[in-house]
Chain A
Amino acid sequence: MLRPLPLATAAILSGPVLLGLLGTVLPAVGLGPLGTGLTLDPVREVLAWPGLPQAMALSLTSGLLSTLGALAVAMLILAGWHGTRAFTLLERLLSPLLAVPHAAAALGLAFLIAPSGWIARLPALALGWDVPPDLLIVQDRLGLALTAGLIAKELPFLLLMMLAALGQTDQRRRMAVARSLGQGRVAGWVKTVFPSLYAQVRLPVLVVLVYAMTNVDVALILGPNTPPTLSVQVTRWMTDPDLGQRAVAAAGAVVQLGLVLAALLAWQMGERLTARLGRAWVWSGRGLAERAARAAGLALGVLSALSILLGIAALALWSVAAGWRFPDLVPEALSARNWMRFGPEMLEVAGDTLALAAVSTAVSLLLVIGCLEAEHRFGLTVGQRALWLLYLPLLIPQVAFLPGLVAAAGSVGLGPSWPLVALGHVVFVLPYVFLSLSGPFRAWDGRLARVAAGLGARPDAVLWRLRLPMLLAPVLTAVAVGMAVSVGQYLPTLLLGGGRVSTLATEAVALAAGGNRRAIGIWGLGQTLAAFLPFALALLVPALVWRDRRGLRHG
């Protein structure tokens, strides 16, 4: 029963991706139902698009810089502040942000930093500006606003992933040794804890990189549009009324895929270079500007938390706003009208969304635990290559394989439906559950299992009564991450559900297109709360269950 699980899981994950990719690549070279026979015309058309070099450069720089930025800030925060009261505060500030949907975070941020936004209204009021300055802050050509938004949004994810893995790195004793050997707090942490930690969170980091390069919603709101990032342009081709453009979109998706692969390769080379530089640094014995590094970590962490929190606060205020014009800091009056208009439907959809998230996460969790246990019992180790396959859905741009997948599912009689959406969510939820659970699961002290076996416990008993209870915190974190991922899925829900399965994500993005801040505020808050609930439980439950067990509390 357990033995074939890893293979089956790999098939569940990679099958849809490969089928979908085929459904994308074929039209890109003129094959398939709409095609006109083998031709490179769609590819040529993409290459002839005048915005291509800039769009590619934008995708690449915003993706690489935001991933690097989020990783660096997470590192500085952990290195400089882990175990302090400031860290606890920061963690409390940042963790809920993981649940904030990307589109809502981006819209909030856009309102915050725009020339007519909240921040600019302070000088506007003080200096009596009557109209906002005509400055290109949001949607700037270099994609700086986009990069900053992505950093702020990905930081909580990376921090939580690192924090979950930190319990397994023996950081306390390593730090004690490093500091007794004369290294400062930050330098010692970066030299001794970070390398092991990075090895554990490497795939999440790559996932962030791919997401940052290929997301559509954040790039639409914060990124430039003349031209936009490549993924936005591919989506435009895909949604062009002229059906002939689908082939161009497919070819664009193939280019996007190539760009992502190139970026992954570049990242890997960067990793090697960094490791080499790191060793030279260790040999040199040199430290860091400790005060500056700690201050920067805290400041950037607080800044990024505040930017999203204030953005959400702004959306919340919009949701109850009557008229609200520039340069007023608050609405003219508050009104319950918006909630009466949108609230009831939102709550109904929120229930459906959570049900979908619960089902897809439960399926994912069972498969993941099954795989990990099979690996543990039978030594069925998922090789490094098979592991890449497992993460395929996260490393392949969604826009590149989902349309092809819908067609493939339809050809075997699987029309758009709730079960298909749930299955589709599993494809994206499972890797995240795996990412967040595999580290702690594998790092669990196997000697305890041998002790238990010596006391007569069967493997199942060891799993259910020993291993999983001890791993309660990471298991619940994995569940929360899985549910947040499900709640955030837009494209898979839309395409696999044929638009019939409404979730908070599909409704929120559809509204985002309309730009009604009041409705966006209500739906965005709903989506945030839906994803936040599991996280709150993941933090609360282990703290309650293990309140008297110091050894089972992480950090």
Chain B
Amino acid sequence: MAEGLRLEGVRLSQGERSLLEIDACVPPGTVTTLMGPSGSGKSTLLSFVMGDLAPGFRAEGRVTLDGRDLTGLAPEARHIGILYQDPLLFPHLDVAANLAFGLPRGGRRAARRAAVEAALSEVALEGYGPRDPATLSGGQAARVALMRVLLSAPRALLLDEPFSKLDAELRAQMRELVFDRARVAAIPVLLVTHDAADAEAAGGPVIRL
């Protein structure tokens, strides 16, 4: 089956040192969890999938998304969203502009504004558009970051320990929100974590490195 995110014979190495080998298939609407200790190459794998591998690393194998081979494509052409443990909102833009950043091109100005407003109210942040991202709480910023990535209509979502900086209560809420949204959007999700609770909440297969 061609749908979803597939990693075929992927092998990462740094110089002579082999980092990891992996074969995986993440069907749309499901979450696959990668677990492993620090330095096992999890983040490097995500960079590889994003198309953003740092110089000095070598990769073999290929990644396909909905049957399309991603090898050699620029990161912006892959339509793969990512969430890090920091929300990484752009500090010079207000909340609304941060959300508008990922909106696919086209559409009238009013329509774009409306899409941003709708996204804000979906995560209970109505009226937060003109706010400086620096004034948001951790949970609010995490929700804005999530909506920003979803507004860009990604075909897959990568999660790089996205909940590790949140306190316990928020973490549970965010997990639910993120996995729920991913299922609704019917996109494959690849989660990298070292927190077993994340893996459990994701509910999908777990690959240990």
Direct contact of A and B (CB under 8 A): yes
**Residues in A neighbouring B90, C-beta threshold 8 A:** 174, 191-192
Measured CA separation A180–B78 after assembly (Å): 7
Is B102's beta carbon under 8 Å from chain A?
A: yes
**Residues in A neighbouring B140, C-beta threshold 8 A:** none
Partner of A180 from B82, B91, B92, B109 at Cβ < 8 Å: B82
Interface string of B102-121 (1 = CB under 8 A from A): 11111001001000000000
Interface size range of chain B in the complex: 20 to 34
Is A188's beta carbon under 8 Å from chain B?
A: yes
Interface string of B140-184 (1 = CB under 8 A from A): 000000001100101000000000000000000000000000000
Is B55's beta carbon under 8 Å from chain A?
A: yes
Interface size range of chain A in the complex: 20 to 34
Are B101's CB and A191's CB within 8 A? yes
Closest to A283 in B: B100
Is A224's beta carbon under 8 Å from chain B?
A: no
Are B105's CB and A183's CB within 8 A? no
**Residues in A neighbouring B101, C-beta threshold 8 A:** 178, 181, 183, 191-192, 282, 285
- Distance to closest chain B CB from A547 (angstroms): 14
Measured CA separation A286–B100 after assembly (Å): 11
Measured CA separation A185–B76 after assembly (Å): 8
Is B81's beta carbon under 8 Å from chain A?
A: yes
Interface string of A147-190 (1 = CB under 8 A from B): 00000000000000000000000100111111111111100100
Measured CA separation A195–B94 after assembly (Å): 13
Are A83's CB and B82's CB within 8 A? no
Closest to A175 in B: B52
Measured CA separation A478–B105 after assembly (Å): 43
Are B102's CB and A181's CB within 8 A? yes
Is B24's beta carbon under 8 Å from chain A?
A: no
**Residues in B neighbouring A285, C-beta threshold 8 A:** 100-101, 103-106, 112
Closest to A83 in B: B55
Measured CA separation A170–B86 after assembly (Å): 12
Are B74's CB and A179's CB within 8 A? yes
Are B148's CB and A283's CB within 8 A? no
Are A181's CB and B81's CB within 8 A? yes
Is B194's beta carbon under 8 Å from chain A?
A: no
- Distance to closest chain A CB from B151 (angstroms): 8
Partner of A196 from B52, B91, B105 at Cβ < 8 Å: B91
Are A173's CB and B154's CB within 8 A? no
Is A279's beta carbon under 8 Å from chain B?
A: yes
Measured CA separation A434–B76 after assembly (Å): 38
Given the known A-B contacts A173-B84, A180-B154, A285-B100, are A195 and B92 also in contact in the complex, defined by CB atoms under 8 Å?
Answer: yes
Closest to B152 in A: A181
- Distance to closest chain A CB from B59 (angstroms): 16
Are B81's CB and A180's CB within 8 A? yes
Are B75's CB and A180's CB within 8 A? yes
**Residues in B neighbouring A178, C-beta threshold 8 A:** 101
Are B50's CB and A282's CB within 8 A? no
Measured CA separation A182–B149 after assembly (Å): 10
- Distance to closest chain A CB from B142 (angstroms): 14
Measured CA separation A183–B148 after assembly (Å): 13
Closest to A181 in B: B102
**Residues in B neighbouring A179, C-beta threshold 8 A:** 50-52, 74-76
- Distance to closest chain B CB from A145 (angstroms): 37
- Distance to closest chain B CB from A262 (angstroms): 27
**Residues in B neighbouring A282, C-beta threshold 8 A:** 93, 97, 100-101
Is B79's beta carbon under 8 Å from chain A?
A: yes
**Residues in B neighbouring A176, C-beta threshold 8 A:** 47, 50, 52, 75, 82
Closest to A279 in B: B97
Is B88's beta carbon under 8 Å from chain A?
A: yes
**Residues in B neighbouring A195, C-beta threshold 8 A:** 92
- Distance to closest chain B CB from A297 (angstroms): 17
Partner of B76 from A173, A184, A279 at Cβ < 8 Å: A184
22 example contacts (A-B, Cβ-Cβ < 8 A) are as follows A176-B50, A177-B88, A180-B78, A180-B80, A180-B82, A180-B149, A180-B154, A181-B76, A182-B76, A182-B152, A183-B76, A184-B74, A184-B76, A185-B74, A188-B76, A279-B97, A282-B93, A282-B101, A283-B97, A285-B105, A286-B105, A287-B105
Chain A interfacial positions (CB closer than 8 Å to B): 83, 170, 173-185, 188, 191-192, 195-196, 199, 279, 282-287
User: When A and B form their complex, which 5 residue pairs have the shortest distance between CB atoms, in order from nearest?
Assistant: A181-B102, A179-B75, A195-B92, A285-B105, A181-B152
- In the complex, given contacts A176-B52, A282-B100, what are 8 additional A-B residue pairs having Cβ atoms less than 8 angstroms apart? A173-B88, A174-B90, A179-B75, A181-B152, A185-B74, A283-B109, A283-B112, A287-B105
